[in-house]
Chain A
Amino acid sequence: MSKKEDHVVNKVETTGYEWDGIKELNNPLPRWWLYVFYTTILFAICYAVYYPAIPLIERNTEGLSNYSSRKELENEMAAVKSSHATMLELIKTMDVSDIQSDPKLARFAAAGGASNFKVYCSQCHGSGAQGGVGYPNLNDDDWLWGGSINQIETTIRHGIRYEADEDTRYSEMPAFGRDQILSEEQIIAVANYVCSLSGLEHEESVIALGAMVFTENCSSCHGDDGKGINEVGAPNLADKLWLYDKSKKAILSQIINPQHGIMPAWGNRLGDIIVKELAVYVHGLGGGE
């Protein structure tokens, strides 16, 4: 320890150390700074007493304020819920088509629908409802079971081919190949005919046979013109959109051994309000009829 000395110029005591001729003045802290420092200490003590702060073995001290962020969240959630109560009550009592014609209510329902869609529907239909192979795109104007808002609501409420729900939408396409309903020649012909309906590449020579097979076996569900029938969930074969694949191979495979999509019934699980909100949201994506 070197000697503490007064600095020549300022007559201020130095710390007593020297680094390559550089000495440090031992000026005291500014008083205002010191008081602010003491105040922060005082504040910290008050804070620790008032709020939960000190960790103990089991849990932390409660604090005088009895505050917890969990409680705060609960309160805030309750406040939000109560502020939504009147709107939700309206949605519960009104028909979806009436909800939709009220702009304010429709906006509220669509917002609720959007967030519920992300939770319950996006796994299959995609986060933007753009669908995928085997899962319908809900933005477009092609609907298997109908695109009016009431039809959409029914689909969400009861699902499709969902056995646990008695009112579920149900239809099944016969396995024309697997069950040997049609011969191989007939199947190839009708596949070519289906391709021709939407202008896909096809063999002209078998079209006449294909048309005949279609009228006899397919038109009862898909319609005489192949434009599909919503009541039985039979897809429109004459448009440019395909649930699975537009290649001839995929069409053939669908005729021989058809795939059927399943959608859960959400009515019991999510309740009336959320189902209606989802219907409004899905209908508003751009394809609703």
Chain B
Amino acid sequence: MNNIGIKDIEQFDAEPVNRYDKQQPLYVSRKKIYPKRINGIFRRFKWIVMLITLSIYYVTPWLRWDRGEFSPNQAVLVDLYHRRFYFFWIEIWPQEFYYIASLLIMAALGLFMVTSSIGRAWCGYTCPQTVWVDLFLLIERFIEGDRNKRMRLDKEAISPTKIVKKISKHIVWLLIAVATGGAWILYFADAPTLLLKVLNGSASIVAYGTIAVLTFTTYSLGGLMREQVCTYMCPWPRIQAAMLDENSLTVTYNNWRGEPRSRHSKIHKPISASDNIPVSRGDCVDCNACVAVCPMGIDIRDGQQLECITCALCIDACDKVMEKLGKPKGLISYSTLANYKQNMKLAFDNINSELVHEHKEILKPKFKHTTISTILQQPRTIIYFAIWVLIGFTMLIMLTTRSHLKINVLHDRNPVSVRLSDGSIRNGYTVKILNMIPKHRTFTLTVNDFIDGEIIMPQKKNDRFHKISLNVKPDSLLAQRLFIIANPKRNKVVERKFRFQIQDNTSSESAEYTATFSYR
């Protein structure tokens, strides 16, 4: 291993496209980035994440879940037309939307928690923009070759092979984009039926419109605009600045051991004007591998930048080089700003690799290395996690103990009450029974806390009941109009409270509604 010298390390002719101290005028057109392929543990992790997220997205609508004959059998379905949301064994009615709201709150809190502890992991690994750009790059690399080949191809004059390559790339991109838009709409209707309808041209204009819009956004954001979306369009990098602190993980170039970078084995360069001590070179061999692989077109050695999505591909690239040189890995590493500053201070007197290294392959033990456990012990992370768990747990309890039966009662308002010829008082109500399970159910409706109150059904005015039986269709609402009739009060009572109660005839489930009877 030690036979490999600096000269054996390939140097890339890579200039960072986005660089703070060389900022381009704002009207200069975009410089294309040609990220080089790299292998390593972070790249492998990203492949796995990509496989999982994309499978979730494309496969989920095809999962089936048996809910009986009266409800759809799609596992995840947002049924906007019937105002129902299905998620495996959970069915949510519009009035239970707070479950979704809390889920969104949990997602936001989770994002805060992840960001404050492990930094921009969302950006680097799971953001749809990152995942689809990765997928599109994969296609690009497959058709046009790696970095150098792509650069050469773009510079070449137009030739049949170039045209074929370019066209086939864009066709595959468009196919992926159409599939992305197509998969999205499958979440909103029965997937097999809808797909068939889309294919034979009988789906609704909304379906085609949605596919068209999402095809356009996927193709343009993932294929054409790429890193510009993160740099210029996305608000999240800006918000994150408020969420990261000196204890959050970021991809860091450890210049306390990298500098002064050089392609030569020895350099003689004064550190300051006053001391002319010759120093040996730092660990960085200035091979630009980290720049060549960066999908955002930055040089991580310039320090923390808004453009950096912490995808860690530069870590993979640099570790490879360090390995070849037989130096300790982690010249570029996940580290916190706090650790970086401490290490900087330790190495500060004059940044000199001889002071940093115990011997060639081992750093001096005084230097701090960020470990995941120190990150997780941050109070902020713990507090976020506690709130997150609290909300999640509360939701879970509410979800498991929720009732699948609800009753709402609307009291007639105009007129509130009617006096009948025998002097008795009649009030009209619309009783709404929500049968929230996909089964036929029969309920008994009773009037409680109201001894002389009797029920009259509009169809049979001469019969008076103390309880009535109502059939409610599966997974639906029954609105039943009925009257309550009672004797007038001699004293000046103007109204009274009483309860409508419904009880499932087969199970013990029941629900109540406190209503008002008016004597006015």
Binding site for B on A (CB under 8 A): 10-11, 27-28, 30-32, 126-130, 137, 139-142, 236, 239-241, 284, 286-287
Contacts and interface: CB of A to CB of B under 8 A. Distances in A.
Given A128-B415, A284-B458, A286-B426, A140 B483 contact: no
A239 B421 contact: yes
Contacts, number: 59
A130 B483 CA distance: 16
| A interface: dominant SS | loop
B418 interface: yes
B419 interface: yes
A142 B423 CA distance: 11
Nearest to A10: B23
Contacts of A128: 412-415
B27 A31 contact: yes
Interface string B22-48: 010011000000000000000000000
B421 A236 contact: yes
Interface in B100-156: none
14 contacts: A126-B414, A128-B413, A130-B415, A137-B418, A140-B421, A236-B421, A239-B421, A239-B422, A240-B419, A284-B458, A286-B418, A286-B428, A286-B483, A287-B420
Nearest to A34: B27
A251 B413 CA distance: 31
B238 to A, nearest CB: 14
B419 to A, nearest CB: 6
A28 B28 CA distance: 12
A139 B422 CA distance: 14
B81 interface: no
Given A31-B26, A128-B414, A130-B414, A286 B422 contact: no
Q: 3 tightest A-B contacts by CB?
A: A128-B414, A239-B421, A130-B415
Nearest to B415: A130
| B interface: dominant SS | loop
B89 interface: no
Given A28-B27, A239-B421, A127 B232 contact: no
Contacts of B233: 32
B26 A139 contact: no
Given A239-B423, A241-B419, A286-B458, 15 more contacts: A10-B23, A11-B23, A27-B26, A30-B232, A31-B26, A32-B233, A126-B414, A130-B418, A141-B420, A142-B420, A240-B419, A240-B423, A284-B458, A286-B428, A287-B418
Contacts of B422: 239-240
A39 to B, nearest CB: 15
A141 B422 CA distance: 9
Nearest to A288: B461
B458 A241 contact: no
Given A31-B26, A286-B483, A141 B421 contact: yes
A141 B27 CA distance: 82
Nearest to B423: A240
A130 B26 CA distance: 72
Interface string B341-383: 0000000000000000000000000000000000000000000
A237 to B, nearest CB: 11
A272 B413 CA distance: 30
A27 B423 CA distance: 82
Given A31-B27, A130-B414, A286-B483, A240 B232 contact: no
